[in-house]
Structure 1
Amino acid sequence: MAGEPNDQTPIPPAKKATIPAHMKAMSGSLGGIMEACCLQPIDVIKTRLQLDRTGAYRGIVHCGSTVCQTEGVRALWKGLTPFATHLTLKYSLRMGTNAVLQSAFKDSQTGQLSNRGRLLSGFGAGVLEALVIVTPFEVVKIRLQQQKGLSPELLKYKGPVHCARLIIREEGILGLWAGAAPTVMRNGTNQAAMFTAKNAFDVFLWKKHEGDGKVLQPWQSMISGFLAGTAGPICTGPFDVVKTRLMAQSREAGHAKYNGMVHAIKTIYAEEGLLALWKGLIPRLMRIPPGQAIMWAVADQVIGLYERRFLPNAPL
């Protein structure tokens, strides 16, 4: 009959609205605060394992217990201030930049974003966050985390501000950007994979499309975020190890063991073997996927609140 839908006629998708970049940025910053407080001990253990060249730690549990016995439980939260600040700023910049780039890559006629556009948006967001925020904050964090001992007067760096000032005085302003190249490669690749995978898991598992007004439950966001955060650490392990080694070494004596990313990879492979390039992988997998789960659980709720209040036809 005329006017009745034909089974062969495709049903046009519901019109999707664009979430403002500032809302994405705010949701990311709130998620970053929660992630930092929950997962800082895993990050400290990861850093200590990556810097261990003598086999002092026999694994994750032994490393954590050794740190607690020799330096106190609070040592597992060393570097929390720069880590929390860094995560808050990083996620804010990452989510906001990704939203802006996705808008630029959307098809002008259909408003759809291709997988290629999503990958490029994520990579661009990762590169920018690596250069502007991640590298200097992680240099300070790693220098604080590698210090061993209980007596503050015996520690070279007394805190994040003192650490940053000392690095600048001894090594110049560029000392805060040690390890920038592997950080750019790591973060760009990670975010390209993460944003693409998160969207794919949301669609596949929950039939959730961005801007459609549907709000995921926190546990659904955590599952999607956890799964999306697993591939990056495996693919970018060597970049993360090299980044940590380059950031940890001090140049005030005029000599550095590693002269750059490629030289560091070759040296680690020659001296410690291939698997050394994936040192700290298990604690990275213990930190990054749960971290993404926590971050997305918070971020999706903030974005969902906006969708419920301001998007037309959003379910209440």
Structure 2
Amino acid sequence: MKKQDQPQGTPMKAIPPYVKALSGSLGGVMEAACLQPIDVIKTRLQLDRSGTYKGIIHCGTTIVRTEGVRALWKGLTPFATHLTLKYALRMGSNAVLQSAFKDSETGKISNRGRLLSGFGAGVLEALVIVTPFEVVKIRLQQQRGLSPELLKYKGPFHCARLIIREEGLLGLWAGAAPTVMRNGTNQAAMFTAKNAFDVLLWKKHEGDGKVLQPWQSMISGFLAGTAGPVCTGPFDVVKTRLMAQSRVGGGVKYKGMIHAIRTIYAEEGLRALWKGLLPRLMRIPPGQAIMWTVADQVIGFYEGRYIRGAHL
């Protein structure tokens, strides 16, 4: 039976969570390889309290001039690993949560259910994967220079071990609260927007067997990735500041998420809460475009082989 001849009310076939998890992990590998330099620049700008860097270009050229081109890929191993695991968990858990909100008769999910599924997936990835990996990544990225003897942290595993030894296991979860708020809000908006753009632009519904062209996935993914960074800018800045500060040798500057927001606002002004927004906008929407291009092709292959083929 062709897709257009299906009886009205027939539930659309669901994509198994493991397929979505695999598609997300493959997309994460590609995204990390392409966009790591932008993430390094974003982190340096967010940690810059003295005005050392005048902007994105100046920051990038300064890093290259003083530390070498390789410095733009600092923290790549934890970044790539974290993206791969994060997207696998995000896509898989979102699929599981969406199945709980779907109408049992039609197989459709409401926008409210899609938002809640996205938020839940974001909270889960923030606590399980994102926070500890980003703590390690940010500690590595904030180090200046490339000479091993001058660096406190010699690599991702050494960094993680040293944090645990000096600050305890919870040191790897510094900045967990703003990370949860950032990722939960981001994923609620992203999954809802991606589905909306697929339907609006390409008449693509999940489980209908239609495979988007790579350029179509790139456009939908790019547009879906734009809203989150603007809305969650303060959470991202606070997250970075909390993760970067070491608890060794006494007290810390920021006592928590609310205290950090108040302190940054009082000392640096309102705009400081959106520091690094431009590099985030340069990284996240293109990153979502890359990730969804790969993920949609994997999901599309499954739909074309096991869903559309079953309907013919």
- TM-score with structure 1 setting the length: 0.95
Q: Which amino acid is 1:56 matched to?
A: T
- Name the structure 2 match of 1:165: 161
Determine which of 256, 267, 283 is the counterpart of 2:263. Answer: 267
- Name the structure 2 match of 1:77: 73
Determine which of 83, 92, 95 is the counterpart of 1:96. Answer: 92
Q: Which amino acid is 1:65 matched to?
A: T
Secondary structure of residue in 1 paired with 2:23: helix
How far the C-alpha of 1:152 sits from its partner, in A, is: 1.1
- 1:32-111 matches, within 5 Å, as 32-111=28-107
Q: Which amino acid is 1:80 matched to?
A: L
- Name the structure 2 match of 1:222: 218
CA RMSD of aligned residues (A): 1.2
How far the C-alpha of 1:149 sits from its partner, in A, is: 1.5
How far the C-alpha of 1:160 sits from its partner, in A, is: 0.2
- Name the structure 1 match of 2:190: 194
CA distance in 1, matches of 2:259, 2:300: 46
Q: Which amino acid is 1:151 matched to?
A: S
How far the C-alpha of 1:110 sits from its partner, in A, is: 2.5
How far the C-alpha of 1:12 sits from its partner, in A, is: 2.8
Query: Is the 1:29–1:89 contact (alpha carbons within 8 Å) kept by the matching residues of 2?
Result: yes
CA distance in 2, matches of 1:205, 1:256: 49
Query: Is the 1:125–1:191 contact (alpha carbons within 8 Å) kept by the matching residues of 2?
Result: yes
- 1:149-160 matches, within 5 Å, as 149-160=145-156
Q: Which amino acid is 2:33 matched to?
A: C
Name the % identity: 84
CA shift digits 1:261-306 (9 cap, x unpaired):
0000000000000000000000000000000000000000000111
- Name the structure 2 match of 1:115: 111
Query: Is the 1:152–1:158 contact (alpha carbons within 8 Å) kept by the matching residues of 2?
Result: yes
CA shift digits 1:35-74 (9 cap, x unpaired):
0000000000000000000000000000000000000000
Matched, 1:184 2:184: no
Determine which of 299, 303, 306 is the counterpart of 2:299. Answer: 303
Query: Is the 1:139–1:247 contact (alpha carbons within 8 Å) kept by the matching residues of 2?
Result: yes
How far the C-alpha of 1:111 sits from its partner, in A, is: 1.8
Query: Is the 2:224–2:285 contact (alpha carbons within 8 Å) kept by the matching residues of 1?
Result: yes
- Name the structure 2 match of 1:251: 247
How far the C-alpha of 1:151 sits from its partner, in A, is: 1.4
How far the C-alpha of 1:220 sits from its partner, in A, is: 0.1
Secondary structure of residue in 2 paired with 1:236: helix
Determine which of 137, 146, 155 is the counterpart of 2:133. Answer: 137
Where does the alignment leave 5 or more consecutive residues of structure 1 unmatched? Answer: 1-10
How far the C-alpha of 1:26 sits from its partner, in A, is: 0.1
CA distance in 2, matches of 1:130, 1:180: 7
Matched, 1:204 2:200: yes
Query: Is the 2:11–2:105 contact (alpha carbons within 8 Å) kept by the matching residues of 1?
Result: no
CA distance in 2, matches of 1:205, 1:13: 23
CA shift digits 1:199-239 (9 cap, x unpaired):
00000000000000000000000000000000000000000
CA distance in 2, matches of 1:121, 1:115: 10
Query: Is the 2:9–2:105 contact (alpha carbons within 8 Å) kept by the matching residues of 1?
Result: no
Where does the alignment leave 5 or more consecutive residues of structure 2 unmatched? Answer: 1-6
- TM-score with structure 2 setting the length: 0.96
How far the C-alpha of 1:312 sits from its partner, in A, is: 4.0
